[in-house]
Amino acid sequence: MTSDILRFLKNNGEQLDIQIAQALNIPMPHLQREIAQLSQANEIICCNLTRFVAGKKIEGVSCRLSCDMPAAARGRKPAGVEVDSGARP
């Protein structure tokens, strides 16, 4: 079961616990135990999250892979700093 959760997070990125439970068809109490085990093993990172959607309060646990790095920002990158080598003509 844990491999299914890890595969889902790898394919879909950061997700709420309710979204994981719905996608994998896992009962919420069982999923919470699995998430706790994965978090203790440092496989995933979890945090409590509160969202307001259309005035409705939604509380859940946000989960992502612990090794998941965000993609590099698009657009121009800052120019490198030139190092003065001390050589003068």
Burial 30-41 (b: 16+ CB within 10 A, else e): ebeebbeebbee
CATH number, position 47: 1.10.10.10
On whether residue 52 sits in a domain, the answer given is yes
On whether residue 56 sits in a domain, the answer given is yes
pLDDT of residue 70: 63
What pairing do the DSSP bridges indicate for beta strands 44-53 and 15-16? unpaired
On whether residue 81 sits in a domain, the answer given is no
**3-state class (DSSP) for residue 72:** coil
On whether residue 72 sits in a domain, the answer given is no
Is residue 27 pLDDT above 90, yes or no?
Answer: yes
On whether residue 33 sits in a domain, the answer given is yes
- Sequence-distant (6+) residues with CB within 8 A of 58 are 50, 51, 52
Give the residue numbers spanning the domain of 45.
Answer: 2-65
Look at the chain and report how many structural domains it folds into: 1
Query: Binning pLDDT at 50, 70 and 90, where does residue 3 land?
Result: confident
What pairing do the DSSP bridges indicate for beta strands 15-16 and 56-65? antiparallel
Query: Binning pLDDT at 50, 70 and 90, where does residue 74 land?
Result: confident
On whether residue 84 sits in a domain, the answer given is no
Q: Give the integer Cα–Cα distance in Å for 72 and 32.
A: 32
pLDDT, mean of residues 17-44 = 92
